[in-house]
Amino acid sequence: MARSQQPLEGKRIAILATDGVEEIEYTQPRITAEQAGAEVYLISLAAGEIQAMNQDINPGNRLAVDRTVDQAQPSDYDALVLPGGTVNPDRLRANSTAMAFVRAFFDQDKPVAAICHGPWSLVETGMVDGRTVTSYPSLRTDINNAGGLWVDREVQVDDGLLTSRRPADLPAFCDKLVEQFAQGHPVGQLNLA
């Protein structure tokens, strides 16, 4: 991209993930954000590498962790991405430090994007209450029980929160991610897709 076509230049984006992350749900948003000029950091539960998966059961690549969640400060980042994979968000939501990290983005009115099973972290932090959210269909009951309205849409934006259902939605998710993060739509400002 030419300099004038880098809408995320100067933005620092955190991707929170751990072992079991769906590889393409990590790599495609990362590549898209970097091509749009952002600096992107993998934040995880432990230092070293995490094991990515393909379709939840096939081992993918190992991914280098940039910072552990207990070392990372949400104030150092402009936006947050929560990729899925079934195991990844289930492990994250059991970690109170990781959930405090997620909640801080909402508290600091920064945009958040979650795809597939990624919204489990939003459920755990109470951040779906009163919001319209999409996700992998199996999270529908969890989202509704947490006070959210689950919808079956390729992309949903509500109060600076961007969500999508599955890897097939990644092209639309990534396009909207760049748009939302470039505009800096903070959580709390309604911007419907």
Could you give the residue numbers annotated as active site? Answer: 116-117
Asked whether 52 and 23 are in contact (CB, 8 A), the reply is yes
If DSSP states are collapsed to H, E and C, what string results for the chain? CCHHHCCCCCCEEEEECCCCCEHHHHHHHHHHHHHCCCEEEEEECCCCEEEEEECCCEEEEEEECCEECCCCCHHHCCEEEECCCCHHHHHHHCCHHHHHHHHHHHHCCCCEEEECCCHHHHHHHCCCCCCEECCCHHHHHHHHHCCCEECCCCEEEECCEEEECCHHHHHHHHHHHHHHHHHCCCCCCCCCC
Nearest to 118 by CA among 25, 193, 30: 25
First-residue to last-residue Cα distance in the chain: 25
